[in-house]
Structure 1
Amino acid sequence: MTFLTDWQSFFPQLLDGLKTSARLSAGALALGMPLGLLLALGSASRILPVRYTVIALVEIGRGTPALVMLQIVYFGLPAQGLSLTAFISATLALALTTGAYASEIIRGGLQSVPQGQLEASGALGMSRMATLRFIVIPQGLRVAIPSLLGLAILIFQATSLAYTIAVPELLQAAYSVGSTTFKYLSVLSLAGLMYLAITIPASWLTGRVERRLARHV
């Protein structure tokens, strides 16, 4: 009963934190997914300097922990004269991480398009850009959707790292309540349940989408 009473008391403040986490993950995905597509296309470029540069950027993005990326953007960019709020810094950092991982997922999807379809488009006189736009990208993204949804769940969970730069997301709200009430077990348990309330249905949806798309493969 003590936990239930505490949860009822803590819920409004944690709900505000959850809303911030949702906005943060939405912004990171809105910026990171298109970036991932551009990087995936760049890694397949016939221009060698472009290809190698993109591959290097992707490897750096994937090899740098999200927490380190947050610190670089939040503390590093202001040192170069760019003044950013903590929320914008966290959004950009998570977007860069999203873009790096999404590029590899999308690249795998693009490469899954049968070579025969590419040859057929060439035989029909379609340009390389038209082939990408109407054949490769639509089919490649369809293959990549389940994995991209899984990545979206991981990015939502990664928003908890933003507490290190004082973004008032869910974990930061939980620590704030815990520091004043000293009921860390109650408040962190509630925060965990609120994360689960998002990630479990999202995981179920991802599996459902994957099974539905598999019917047409």
Structure 2
Amino acid sequence: MSEMLANWLDWSPQLFQGAIVSLQLAGLALLFGLPTGLVLALASSCGNRLVRYFAVVLVEIGRGAPALVVLQMVYYGLPASGMTVSAFTSGVIALALTTGAYTSEILRAGLNAVPHCEIEAGWALGMTRRDILRFVVIPQGILFAIPALMGFAILIFQATALTYTIAIPELLARAYRVGAATYLYLDVLILAGLFYLAITFPFGWLVSYTERRLGSHLG
């Protein structure tokens, strides 16, 4: 046991750097994926049938394709089409596309949860459709969706582990690298799991806390 703890102390700086990369991947995927999800959510509820069907098809394709498949398609597909990007950029693009597809449904549910009486109040005040959408529907819809979006953020952080397949030096990739050098795969993977837990557990508590506060406020 003491030997394992000593090894953990030696490996922790490497895994910590990997955790930073994982957080950067997740943060950028959410930064670009959430606006994409909002656009798809609005398009899925659009009155134009062509736009609505096109958005629904994109969402279903994005949700139906495994994140690992999307990652491989972006990583190998972009260079094949003449676009040279780094592995890190490919990881961000793939995870952002997955984020956009999944969060579009979360955001659409939040937008649909806005009470219709508030929309009618906007009409009564003489607001235009665009103003109602911008000042009434979208702010409240996002508010309703916050707990679910925060929960998804935990999942996308965990999904960054898939990027080890394209040689991004994130947490799991560094753990495998240490395991390959020491053959102590179980020990280093336990330490990597503790790193994931140290990040996701507090955030999971924050999700529950936010949900309770929003529930009491909205109630």
TM over 0.5: yes
Tell me the CA shift for residue 41 of structure 1. Answer: 0.6
| Residue of structure 2 in register with 1:67 after alignment | 68
Partners of 2:181 and 2:203 in 1: CA distance: 32
CA displacement 1:96-127 (0-9 Å, x = unmatched): 00011110000000000111111221122111
Give the paired residue count.
217
Is 2:142 aligned against 1:141?
yes
1:56 equivalent in structure 2: 57
Aligned with 1:178: secondary structure? helix
Partner of 1:122: 123
* TM-score, with structure 1 as normaliser: 0.99
Q: Write the deviation string for residues 157-185 of structure 1: whole angstroms up to 9, x where unpaired.
A: 00000000100000000001110111111
* Structure 2 match to 1:45: 46
2:123 partner letter: G
Shift of 1:47: 1.2
Show the counterpart of 2:186: 185
* Structure-2 separation of matches of 1:139 and 1:130: 13
Equivalent AA in structure 2 for residue 125 of structure 1 = G
User: C-alpha distance in 1, partners of 2:215/2:69?
Assistant: 37
Equivalent in the alignment of 2:89: 88
Superposed structure 1 runs of 4+ greater than 2 Å apart: none
Counterpart of 2:207 in structure 1 is: 206
- Listed one character per residue, the Cα deviations across residues 35-62 of structure 1 (whole Å, up to 9, x for unaligned) are 1111111111111111110110000000
Partners of 1:49 and 1:28 lie apart in 2 by 28
Distance 2:18 2:144 in 1: 34
Matched residue, 2:156: 155
Q: Which residue of 1 aligns with 2:170?
A: 169
How far is 1:15 from its partner?
A: 0.8
User: Within 1, Cα distance between the matches of 2:108 and 2:216?
Assistant: 22
Unaligned runs of 5+ in 1: none
Encode CA deviations 1:130-177: one digit per residue, 9 max, x unaligned.
001110011111110000000000000000000001000000000011
Partner Cα distance (2:186, 2:113) in 1: 47
Give CA-to-partner distance per residue, 1:31-87, whole Å, 9 cap, x none: 001111111111111111111101100000000100000001001111111111100
Q: What is the TM-score when the length of structure 2 is the normalising length?
A: 0.98
Cα distance between partner residues in 2 of 1:117 and 1:24: 38
Partner amino acid for 2:128? S
Gaps of 5+ in 2: none
**Aligned partner of 1:97: which letter?**
T
